[in-house]
Chains A and B, each alone.
Chain A
């Protein structure tokens, strides 16, 4: 279904939902980043790679939502 087929109020609701999901994901990434920095400065090295991969997964989720939105707008 294309975005133009939704009423304008529905479009605002859809994009608000997507923005809320993205915000949760970005907050998760912030937590991952601060934790990784903390453990890195303490001298532990085990967490950096899994945390980087988890952050990539979060980014992919964000990208998926973003391109889903673009697909709706087309």
Chain B
């Protein structure tokens, strides 16, 4: 008994024998199982490449993280004097590098907070609203708690990157990140 492979070279998708097929299919027969096998084989190879790309991406994140850790915390930098801001006022500054815009807010006589100004949703600049106890992103109505930078409403899901502060000798200094990546 001849095996299935040698007996039927071409099997049409509808499964009917060759004599029942239209003339164009009889003139140009395709080996459908082989065609399906080849296309799936290429798909499997593509999945292998995708898998390798994800591994590369994971190690890229790991590498960046290691670089950041090796670089250590950014230097301490004076950003304002205590008397410069009244309670409820804010000041823009750049930290740790030029172009990394951050915002300092005075919440009370002794309490200052500072955050990176980029919204964690789509990087629009956030604006302080101390009267509401929030930071506001006007682009997509994102809101953050002004005390800790946690998202409270709107599309952002991650907290604002928080800048560490210390107050001494009547001046406010930035001394690294508390949380997040600026």
Chain A positions within 8 Å of B, measured between CB atoms, are: 7-9, 11-12, 15-16, 18-19, 22-23, 25-26, 29-30, 32-33, 36-38, 40-43, 45, 48-49, 51-52, 55-56, 58-59, 62-63, 65-66, 69
Contacts and interface: CB of A to CB of B under 8 A. Distances in A.
A56 to B, nearest CB: 6
Contacts of A12: 33, 36-37, 40
B47 A22 contact: yes
A62 B55 CA distance: 12
B100 interface: no
Contacts of A41: 120, 158, 180-181
B4 A48 contact: no
The CB with the most chain A CB atoms within 10 A, among B34, B48, B58, B64, is that of B58
Nearest to B44: A19
Interface SS majority for chain B: helix
Given A29-B51, A48-B62, A52-B62, A8 B34 contact: yes
A23 B4 contact: no
A7 B48 CA distance: 25
Interface residues of B, number: 38
8 contacts: A8-B11, A26-B47, A36-B61, A41-B120, A52-B55, A52-B59, A52-B61, A58-B51
A69 B34 CA distance: 15
Given A7-B3, A41-B158, A26 B55 contact: no
B133 interface: no
Contact of B51 (A9, A15, A16, A59): A59
A8 B4 contact: yes
Contact of B179 (A19, A26, A43): A43
A48 B58 CA distance: 7
Contact of A36 (B33, B58, B157, B179): B58
A19 B41 CA distance: 8
